[in-house]
Amino acid sequence: MRLVLASTSPRRRELLARLGVVPDRIAGPELDETPRPGELPRPYALRLAEEKARAVAREPDEIVVAGDTTIGVGRRILNKPADEADHRAMLGLLSGRRHHCLSAVCVIGLDGKARVRVADSVVAFKRLTDEEIDWYLRSGEGEGKAGGYAIQGRAESFVRFLSGSHSGVVGLPLFDTRALLESSGYRFA
């Protein structure tokens, strides 16, 4: 049995390594990540994780693991910031309030069945000053990240509360990933 990681994210590779898992192959899926009209954050994260897993060609002896991390503020989905103004607006929206970090994972087993789970972590940021937002924007850490921040870096200093999966906020919920891999027949040594 070979494992394919349907992601080019170095964070997801690092997180899998914490489980002692090294992918046999890495394949970056190409797909449109635009939310559908009226789509809510949780179904969006679940849909993208499964679509990413299905977008990668799979050999009969391979299982595929894919993930998606989505930031939800109420009914709103915060994707990756488009530009600095968008990034600033996202951090302003997250300032002083709670939000949901929905980290979905999908494993397609040898049987071709997709198994999907989502870890819903609640994160609360402190109230951010304009200077703190400027400091974070200058770091460049949040570029290309859902919600415009990376908890494993400087943004962790903004987190006053977290309930849920820290690894899920980073990019792959390890508890759920391990459970899905085991239910798909993957053996941990």
Of 24, 61, 68, 134, which residue is the catalytic one?
A: 68
93 is written with which tokens? Answer: 């929206």
- Please write down the HEC assignment for all residues of the chain: CEEEECCCCHHHHHHHHHCCCCCCEECCCCCCCCCCCCCCHHHHHHHHHHHHHHCCCCCCCEEEEEEEEEEEECCEEECCCCCHHHHHHHHHHHCCCEEEEEEEEEEECCCCCEEEEEEEEEEEECCCCHHHHHHHHHHCCCCCCHHHCCCCCHHHHHEEEEECCHHHHHCCCHHHHHHHHHHCCCCCC
Q: What angle do CA 46, 49, 54 make, to 5 degrees?
A: 125
61 is catalytic: no
Residues recognised as catalytic: 68
